[in-house]
């Protein structure tokens, strides 16, 4: 099966998982509903993105056991809502505002940069050095990290960070290094690399 199947399943049912947790623990706080709105809508946007401009790296075929493994690992992202809801955590208004703002910026960076990459490569294959990628070679990963950190903030616990930390070191960093190696085949890559940073945007050139 394709790798995107367990990923899409996880993204698509997250809002159901949060609703089940809310009903299971009888927790209907503002923070719980805010989490449902942010993480639930993110999952639905991911499915829409997969239909409009799918990522080729998720199209690869994998075995069923590996697909199950991927889904189980992705379930680490559900630690944040579990803690928030089961322990009835109450993040401050300031933290909730920060989470919403970070989530909004992260969604824009993640989905818009993926769209730029997809449609640019569709009509003009080659090294992308402008737009979202002018100062950052992996702005999409930065956006995704911001999204999941915003979810972790709402859990009001460091345990909520387990999912994003695990994926940052287990998937994000290896994929960014792999991407750099792939892009090194372009003669202009070395000059582009000096003008950009791997994960954070280079503010001064």
Q: How far is CA 127 from CA 60, 61, 96, 117, 163, in A?
A: 22, 26, 38, 10, 31
Quick one: pLDDT at residue 205?
A: 64
What is the CB-side half-sphere exposure of residue 203 using CA atoms within 13 A? 1
Structural contact between residues 73 and 10, judged by C-beta atoms closer than 8 angstroms = no
pLDDT, tens digit (0-9, with 9 covering 90-100), for 126-157: 999 999 999 999 999 999 999 999 999 999 99
- Is pLDDT above 70 for 118? yes
pLDDT, tens digit (0-9, with 9 covering 90-100), for 154-204: 999 999 999 999 999 999 999 999 999 999 999 999 999 999 999 999 877
Locate the domains of the chain by residue range: 4-195
Quick one: pLDDT at residue 55?
A: 93
Residues facing 197 on adjacent strands: 136
Q: Which of 32, 40, 154 is nearest to 107 (CA)?
A: 40
- Is pLDDT above 90 for 10? yes
Q: What is the DSSP letter of 172?
A: I
What is the average pLDDT across 55-73?
93
Structural contact between residues 152 and 164, judged by C-beta atoms closer than 8 angstroms = yes
pLDDT, tens digit (0-9, with 9 covering 90-100), for 22-52: 999 999 999 999 999 999 999 999 999 999 9
Q: What torsion, rounded to 10 degrees, do the Cα atoms 163, 144, 194, 123 define?
A: 130
Three-state SS at 137? coil
Count of beta carbons in the 10 Å neighbourhood of residue 63: 9
Quick one: pLDDT at residue 202?
A: 87
Quick one: pLDDT at residue 19?
A: 98
Record the tokens describing residue 115, joined without a space. Answer: 């769209």
Q: Which of 88, 68, 82, 55 is nearest to 152 (CA)?
A: 82
């Amino acid at each position: 099966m394709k790798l995107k199947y367990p990923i899409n399943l996880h993204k698509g049912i997250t809002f159901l998982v949060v609703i089940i947790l809310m009903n299971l623990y009888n927790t209907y706080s503002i923070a719980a509903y805010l989490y449902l709105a942010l993480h639930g809508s993110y999952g639905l946007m991911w499915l829409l993105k997969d239909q409009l401009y799918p990522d080729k790296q998720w199209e690869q075929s994998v075995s069923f056991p590996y697909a199950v493994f991927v889904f189980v690992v992705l379930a680490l992202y559900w630690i944040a809502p579990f803690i928030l809801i089961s322990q009835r955590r109450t993040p401050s208004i300031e933290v909730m505002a920060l989470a919403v703002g970070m989530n909004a910026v992260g969604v824009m960076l993640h989905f818009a940069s993926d769209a730029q990459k997809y449609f640019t490569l569709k009509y003009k294959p080659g090294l992308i050095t402008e737009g979202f990628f002018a100062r950052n070679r992996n702005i999409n990963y930065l956006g995704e990290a911001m999204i999941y950190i915003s979810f972790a903030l709402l859990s009001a616990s460091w345990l909520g960070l387990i999912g994003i930390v695990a994926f940052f070191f287990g998937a994000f960093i290896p994929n960014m290094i792999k991407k750099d190696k792939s892009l090194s085949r372009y003669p202009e890559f070395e000059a582009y690399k000096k003008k950009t940073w791997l994960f954070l945007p280079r503010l001064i050139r």
